[in-house]
Structures are given as C-alpha cells and as structure tokens.
Amino acid sequence: MPVEKDSKIAKWIAAIREGLPALRAHFDEWKDAVREEPTLIWATPAIRYTAYGLVGLIVVGVLVWSAGLFHPAEVAPPAETANFHVLCTAPGCAHHFVINREFDFDDFPVICPQCEQKTGQRAVRCLSKTCNGCWVVPTKRDHQYRCPFCGGYLGKVD
C-alpha cells in the first residue's frame, strides 16, 4: 500500500510542478493588468471576498469586545440567604424587625431585639382593604394562613 500511496503523492507533486509555471505566468499576467488598471484588484473575486471577510472579522471582533464591556464575565454568586420580616407577639411590644437567614430558615419564634423575649414570629403583609399592607403574624385555620385582624386569606399551609 505505501508504494501506491507514494506514487499518488509523487503524481500530485509532478502535477503541481507542471502546473506551477502556468499559474505563475497567469499571476504575472494579472499583475501586469493590475499595473495598467489598478481597479482590477477590486474586480478580482478572491481579493474582494478576502476584504469582505476581513471587514466581517473586524466587525465581529468589535461586537464581541463591546459586549464584554457591557456584560462583565463576572457573575455575582446566587444569594444563599433571604430577609424575613418578624413581628414580636409579646403584649405591648409588637416590634417589627427584619432578620437575614438561610432560605429554608424556619426556627421561629426568634428573640425580639426590643423586649428580648423569644416571641418574634414570621410576619407577612396583609393586603386587604382593612389592613392595607400591614405586617401581621398569620394564624393557621383549616390548612390556610389567615390574617388575625381581618381574617383575610394569606396562603396555604404546606
């Protein structure tokens, strides 16, 4: 097999050697023509397409570069904690504060910073007309969370 392969390559090399002078002559002809008529450079498809390709590459390069400017590669890591609104249920306190805990935090009641009792319960906003967005500690009733003031629905108990 290698012999056949070698002969094939040898044939190609011979063909190129034979073709090269013809190619060179053609190129010299083209050079002379361009010297007399410089606009011929642009009329040569190979050169025209190479120029188009280069312009395209530059445009793509500038776009990629400017995209990098507006969207930095560094992406902030996703938040692992969340803010929880807390209402103190101690009589006479009713302090409203916010704690930052892990997403699945559910260790209520928490200590109230005002009266220092462990009476802080998770609060949600009641958006009913009566409560008008007040923070309330929902009460559980029939597998539903309800507002202790107006009785409005505040979500399903899991």
| Interaction site with Zn ion (CB under 5 A) | 88, 90, 93, 95, 112, 114-115, 126, 128, 131, 147, 149-150, 152
Provide the 10 A C-beta neighbour count for residue 47. Answer: 13
Query: What is 1-48 written as a DSSP string?
Result: -HHHHHHHHHHHHHHHHHHHHHHHHHHHHHHHHHHH-TTHHHH-HHHH
- CB of 33 or CB of 95, closer to Zn ion: 95
Tell me the closest approach of the beta carbon of residue 75 to Zn ion, in angstroms: 40
Cα separation, 102 vs 118, whole angstroms? 19
User: Do residues 90 and 112 make contact, with C-beta atoms less than 8 angstroms apart?
Assistant: yes
Provide the 10 A C-beta neighbour count for residue 75. Answer: 7
Tell me the closest approach of the beta carbon of residue 135 to Zn ion, in angstroms: 10
Tell me the closest approach of the beta carbon of residue 114 to Zn ion, in angstroms: 5
- CB of 11 or CB of 141, closer to Zn ion: 141
- CB of 97 or CB of 105, closer to Zn ion: 97
- CB of 34 or CB of 95, closer to Zn ion: 95
Tell me the closest approach of the beta carbon of residue 151 to Zn ion, in angstroms: 7
- CB of 68 or CB of 113, closer to Zn ion: 113
Tell me the closest approach of the beta carbon of residue 136 to Zn ion, in angstroms: 6
Label residues 76-105 b or e (16+ Cβ within 10 Å = b).
Answer: eeeeeeeebebbbbbeebeeeeebeeeeee
